[in-house]
Amino acid sequence: MPQKKPKNTKLTIEDIAKLAGVSKATVSYVLNDKPGVSEELRLKIKKIIEDCNYVPNSAARGLAGEKTHFIGLVIPDVSDMFYANIIRGVEKTSNKHNYLLNLYTTHGEEEKERRVIGLINSSMVDGLIIMAYYIKDNFVDFLKNEGIPFVFIDYPTKDEDIYTVVVDNETGAFEATEYLISLGHEKIAFLEGHEAAWDSKARFMGFLKALTANSIEFNPLLIEKGDFTREGGYKATKRLLEKREEFTAIFSSNDQMAIGAVRALKEKGLKVPEDVSIVGFDNIEASSIIDPPLTTVMQPIYEMGKKATEILLRLINGENIERKNFLLKTKLIKRSSCKSLK
């Protein structure tokens, strides 16, 4: 037997109105907590809604111009733990506020971008949270014109006019470096991430500032280029070792590369942390599993999703938020990959 066809058992606002002996409009006002209904009637209608388990049709709401109670989340991918945690933050927060999620992955493809526009055009979402690498100015302009609230995650822009939630990479790197210094390390190597990555640059800046703040001279020979991959970290570390420039610690601009670095060191017979201390960045799951467990900088990923959602929801509700740029703090996770020289 095939699945049954629509039975149209669905409750509409009309039904509720009839049950309460009032007009659709009155029910609608109750539904949206708008004035113009006596407290007594309001309560009565609310009870009926509750009893019948009635849920207003979002499509109709969207059409009629009111809130759909859906927010759209645009994200490159879901299989990456990083994004998965963002989703979780967004999802939990929006759910708490009775909002549902429209997930939208771009996989970095240009084509997908245009479809996001379709999503907006579909009056299916009340607002947008966007996290993507390929964001172009004209896309931002489009959004602005569309009049739909939106907030970007991890999109460092100079545009003072848009809401963003960004991790404070620089301070995170600063603190991690200071930690190494506090352990007595002065000859610290730095593994750069992908060239184009702004977060890699921010981390490098933090690293530099910490050296300067502690009057340690910066040694350009101890910088190696990587690409954020495990393999990249491995190769970078091998090149580093071949230079025969002395160092007692490595600050890798992400965990994947740090893991690669550990392997490269082990291969050369060097022990972590006895011979070389290592600090990573990101606190990916693997960082706690490898041997030794990696000291690293945790990004407040979940909090980013949460914060972005909170901002968006306030925006949707017409609140005015003075601050547009939110910098979220990182946290240093101390494990056993660093040794004190003192």
Partner DNA sequence: TATTTTTTCTTAACCGCTTCACTTTAATTA
Partner DNA sequence: TAATTAAAGTGAAGCGGTTAAGAAAAAATA
Binding site for DNA (CB under 7 A): 8, 10-14, 21-29, 31-32, 34-42, 54, 56-57, 60-61, 63-66, 123
Nearer to DNA, 44 or 335 (CB): 44
Residue 75, Cβ density class (10 Å: 0-12 exposed, 13-18 middle, ≥19 buried)? buried
Output the smallest distance, CB 7 to DNA, in A: 12
The residues that bridge with 104 in the sheet, in sequence order, are 74
Would you say 164 or 248 has its CB closer to a copy of itself?
164
Q: Shortest Cβ distance from residue 34 to DNA (Å)?
A: 6
Which is nearer to DNA, 13 or 264 (by Cβ)?
Answer: 13
Minimum separation from the CB atom of position 151 to a copy of itself (A): 10
Q: Which does 95 bind (CB under 5 to 8 A by kind): a copy of itself, DNA, none?
A: a copy of itself
Nearer to DNA, 78 or 124 (CB): 124
Contact partner at residue 266 from a copy of itself, DNA, none, CB < 5 to 8 Å by partner kind: none
Question: With CB cut-offs between 5 and 8 Å by kind, which of DNA, a copy of itself, none does residue 206 bind?
Answer: none
Angle CA 178–336–218, to nearest 5: 30
What residues form DSSP beta bridges with 282? 298
Least separation in angstroms between CB 242 and a copy of itself: 27
Residue 35 contacts which entry, a copy of itself, DNA, none (Cβ below 5-8 A, type-dependent): DNA
**Which pair of structure tokens corresponds to residue 131?**
């996290």
Residues 6+ apart with CB under 8 A from 180: 188, 249, 251, 277, 279, 338
Q: Do residues 224 and 190 lie in contact, with contact meaning Cβ atoms separated by under 8 Å? A: yes
| Nearest distance from C-beta of residue 169 to a copy of itself, angstroms | 22
Provide, rounded to whole angstroms, the least separation between the CB of residue 52 and DNA: 11
State both tokens at 230.
């495990």
Using an 8 Å Cβ cutoff, are 207 and 281 in contact? no
Residues forming the site for a copy of itself (CB under 8 A): 1-7, 9-11, 53, 55-60, 62-63, 68, 70, 73, 77-79, 81, 84-85, 87-88, 91-92, 95, 100-105, 107, 112, 114-115, 117-119, 121-124, 144-147, 149, 161, 285-286, 289-291, 315, 320
Enumerate the β-bridge partners of residue 298.
Answer: 282, 331
Kind of pairing, strands 163-167 and 325-328?
parallel
Kindly give, in sequence order, each residue whose CB lies less than 8 Å from that of residue 129, ignoring residues fewer than 6 positions away.
71, 72, 73, 74, 90, 150, 151, 152, 153, 305, 308, 309, 312
